[in-house]
């Protein structure tokens, strides 16, 4: 063999080794890259938050780095680091494989002892692979300027929705972009109160794409808006419990039930209820005990759940809605939350004030009914509880602007137009 040929063979052998090393490094990077970053709030978001994310490979080192000042995604510079409290493989079904979503792993880190009204910058490490830097703001104790967004039924979106990733979820994506735009426009928006039904099911072929689209709600500067989550009829698969971790205990009971109270500072409280479990058992007794205490201690009280007591689209006499009026509405009527948020109908609705089964100026306003991406339906404005209110077949998110003596409601459409406004005075 001549020297020239021998030299070529040595060159290509070395090049091949470097190429294999590059491919292996790139594959490692892809599998361990933290994706689907999100922040969840539970009972006390002034000092506690859960940061969750996904990886495509099992990892032994799952670390959250965080600080109260930006550290430019340089892990050694952050003041605090915290390992994930829970990690595991996401349940994969045969249909998930058929739809082509990858196997993946969930990770949840719990931050406690946070400072209220403070911006926290963070980044994620998985086996030596790092995310960029993101941030969120904890709930303040002083709530002179405080806004929430509310909406439900993200689902698939579009006129002819199909499963998983085969059809672009354009409407859902546009609503996530609208949320990001609102957060940039109004920095005092602190959280999204989600009325459930995130995907068509909570199987991974649907949640994977929901979390992909959720990233569009992150602002251009990397601010993630925390979510207060509830459970809907499309969220009952195991994947919901794996990916929406609320900790092991909330308000002194098992978090697995997904009903709990959240205090935004010293004057605003939100009760999240679960229409997908018994309404008349343990949850009923908890609500009966909790609401009067929350009402006594807070200037403003909100309630959020999925299936409506006063549905603008579906049959009000159906047991799924009648039981909400039977078990929960009498407690509402007695202790008067200032606002009730409902979903499930895939429309825009606002009832007139309702008390004891009839319209009453001293009653409770019910808004909803889920317009974050699911195919729309036409509300029935002839129903007694819609007359004097507002309804439309529109995608929307509600902005709840809470002041010292009033709550101002704005239903904001996908294009940013205000579709409906209403003020609740104290």
* CATH label of the domain that carries residue 406: 3.60.21.10
| Cα–Cα distance for residue pair 25/312, rounded to 1 Å | 54
* 14 falls within a domain: no
Cα torsion for 272, 309, 284, 247, to the nearest 10°? -20
| Cα–Cα distance for residue pair 269/45, rounded to 1 Å | 11
How would residue 24 be classed by pLDDT, with cut points 50, 70 and 90? low
**Whether the Cβ atoms of residue 276 and residue 235 lie closer than 8 Å to each other:** yes
What pLDDT was estimated at residue 14?
47
- Residue 10 pLDDT exceeds 80: no
In whole angstroms, how far apart are CA 336 and each of 73, 147, 300, 345, 353? 46, 21, 10, 24, 11
User: Are 132 and 147 members of one domain?
Assistant: no
According to DSSP H, which parts of 222-336 are helical?
238-243, 282-297, 319-327, 329-335
What pLDDT was estimated at residue 26?
78
Please tell me the pTM assigned to this model: 0.91
On the CB side of 300, CA atoms within 13 Å amount to 27
What pLDDT was estimated at residue 392?
98
User: Are 83 and 163 members of one domain?
Assistant: no
| 3-class DSSP state of 375 | coil
What pLDDT was estimated at residue 160?
56
Average pLDDT taken over every residue of the chain: 91
User: Are 130 and 182 members of one domain?
Assistant: no
Query: How far from chain centre, in Å, is Cα 73?
Result: 25
What pLDDT was estimated at residue 204?
95
User: Of 136, 168, 193, which residue constitutes the final position of a domain?
Assistant: 136
| Cα–Cα distance for residue pair 68/418, rounded to 1 Å | 35
User: Are 179 and 274 members of one domain?
Assistant: yes
Q: What is the CATH number of the domain that holds 97?
A: 2.60.40.380
How would residue 8 be classed by pLDDT, with cut points 50, 70 and 90? very low
User: Are 40 and 155 members of one domain?
Assistant: no
- Residue 206 pLDDT exceeds 50: yes
Which stretch of 5-14, 197-206, 214-223, 225-234 has the lowest confidence by average pLDDT?
5-14
Beta strands in 114-206 (DSSP E): 119-126, 129-130, 134-137, 146-151, 189-194
Residue 200, C-beta contacts closer than 8 angstroms, at least 6 positions apart:
155, 156, 161, 163, 206, 234
* 7 falls within a domain: no
- Residue 307 pLDDT exceeds 50: yes
**Whether the Cβ atoms of residue 419 and residue 348 lie closer than 8 Å to each other:** yes
Query: How far from chain centre, in Å, is Cα 174?
Result: 16
Across the range 370-393, mean pLDDT stands at 96
User: Are 201 and 315 members of one domain?
Assistant: yes
* 19 falls within a domain: no
- Residue 70 pLDDT exceeds 50: yes
Structure tokens at 56: 């495509």
| Cα–Cα distance for residue pair 284/307, rounded to 1 Å | 15
What pLDDT was estimated at residue 352?
98
Residue 316, C-beta contacts closer than 8 angstroms, at least 6 positions apart:
310, 322, 383
* 69 falls within a domain: yes
Closest CA to 208 of 72, 360, 105: 105
User: Are 58 and 197 members of one domain?
Assistant: no
| pLDDT tens digits, one per residue of 281-291 | 999 999 999 99
How would residue 399 be classed by pLDDT, with cut points 50, 70 and 90? very high
Which stretch of 15-24, 195-204, 374-383 has the lowest confidence by average pLDDT?
15-24
Higher pLDDT pick, 31 / 197: 197
| Cα–Cα distance for residue pair 264/287, rounded to 1 Å | 18
Q: The tokens 């949320």 sit on which residue?
A: 179
Structure tokens at 286: 């908890």
User: Are 116 and 214 members of one domain?
Assistant: no
- Residue 418 pLDDT exceeds 50: yes
Using CA of residue 146, residue 330, residue 411, residue 409, what is the dihedral sign? negative
Residue 176, C-beta contacts closer than 8 angstroms, at least 6 positions apart:
213, 214, 215, 216, 217
| Cα–Cα distance for residue pair 346/368, rounded to 1 Å | 9
How would residue 166 be classed by pLDDT, with cut points 50, 70 and 90? low
Q: State the total domains in the chain.
A: 2
* 200 falls within a domain: yes
Structure tokens at 188: 């005092």
How would residue 31 be classed by pLDDT, with cut points 50, 70 and 90? confident
User: Of 101, 136, 171, which residue constitutes the final position of a domain?
Assistant: 136
- Beta strand 49-55 pairing with 260-264: unpaired
User: Are 120 and 160 members of one domain?
Assistant: no
What pLDDT was estimated at residue 156?
75
- Residue 101 pLDDT exceeds 80: yes
* 89 falls within a domain: yes
Across the range 223-241, mean pLDDT stands at 96
What pLDDT was estimated at residue 294?
96
User: Are 69 and 161 members of one domain?
Assistant: no
How would residue 7 be classed by pLDDT, with cut points 50, 70 and 90? low
Domain that holds residue 348: 142-425
* 369 falls within a domain: yes
User: Of 136, 169, 184, which residue constitutes the final position of a domain?
Assistant: 136
Cβ-based neighbour number of residue 111 at 10 Å: 20
- Residue 16 pLDDT exceeds 60: no
Which stretch of 147-151, 247-251, 410-414 has the lowest confidence by average pLDDT?
247-251
User: Are 160 and 245 members of one domain?
Assistant: yes
How would residue 354 be classed by pLDDT, with cut points 50, 70 and 90? very high
Closest CA to 132 of 82, 65, 216: 65
- Beta strand 227-228 pairing with 189-194: parallel
* 212 falls within a domain: yes
> Among residues of the chain, what percentage have pLDDT more than 90?
83
How would residue 159 be classed by pLDDT, with cut points 50, 70 and 90? low
User: Are 53 and 130 members of one domain?
Assistant: yes
Closest CA to 365 of 348, 349, 380: 349
């Amino acid at each position: 063999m001549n020297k020239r040929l021998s030299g070529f063979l040595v060159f290509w052998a070395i090049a091949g080794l470097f190429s294999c090393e590059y491919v292996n490094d790139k594959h490692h990077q892809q599998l361990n890259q933290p994706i689907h970053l999100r922040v969840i709030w539970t009972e006390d978001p002034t000092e506690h938050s859960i940061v969750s994310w996904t990886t495509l490979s099992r990892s032994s080192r799952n670390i959250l780095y965080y600080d109260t000042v930006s550290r430019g995604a340089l892990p050694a510079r952050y003041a605090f680091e915290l390992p994930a409290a829970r990690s595991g493989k996401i349940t994969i079904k045969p249909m998930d494989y058929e739809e082509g979503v990858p196997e993946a792993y969930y990770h949840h880190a719990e931050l406690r002892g946070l400072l209220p009204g403070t911006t926290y910058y963070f980044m994620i490490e998985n086996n030596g692979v790092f995310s960029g830097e993101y941030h969120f703001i904890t709930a303040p104790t002083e709530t002179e300027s405080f806004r929430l967004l509310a909406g439900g039924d993200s689902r698939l979106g579009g006129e002819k929705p199909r499963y998983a990733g085969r059809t672009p979820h354009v409407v859902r994506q546009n609503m996530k972009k609208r949320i990001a735009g609102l957060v940039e426009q109004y920095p005092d928006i602190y959280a999204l109160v989600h009325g459930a039904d995130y995907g068509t099911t909570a199987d991974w072929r649907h949640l994977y794409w929901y979390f992909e689209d959720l990233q569009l709600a992150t602002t251009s500067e990397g601010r993630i808006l925390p979510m207060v989550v509830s459970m809907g009829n499309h969220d009952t698969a195991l994947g919901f419990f794996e990916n929406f971790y609320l900790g092991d205990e909330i308000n002194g009971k098992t978090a697995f039930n997904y009903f709990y109270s959240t205090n935004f500072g010293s004057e605003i409280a939100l009760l999240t209820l679960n229409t997908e479990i018994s309404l008349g058992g343990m949850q009923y007794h908890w609500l009966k005990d909790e609401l009067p205490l929350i009402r006594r201690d807070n200037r403003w009280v909100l309630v959020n759940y999925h299936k409506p007591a006063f549905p603008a689209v579906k049959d009000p006499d159906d047991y799924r809605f009648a039981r909400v009026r039977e078990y929960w509405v009498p407690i509402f009527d007695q202790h008067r939350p200032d606002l009730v948020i409902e979903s499930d109908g895939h429309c825009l609705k606002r009832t007139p004030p309702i008390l004891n089964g009839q319209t009453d100026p001293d009653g409770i306003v019910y808004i909803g009914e889920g317009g974050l991406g699911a195919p729309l339906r036409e509300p029935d404005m002839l129903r007694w509880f819609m007359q004097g209110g507002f309804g439309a077949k529109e995608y929307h998110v509600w902005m709840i602007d809470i002041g010292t003596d009033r709550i101002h409601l704005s239903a904001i459409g996908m294009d940013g137009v205000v579709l409906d406004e209403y003020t609740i005075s104290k």
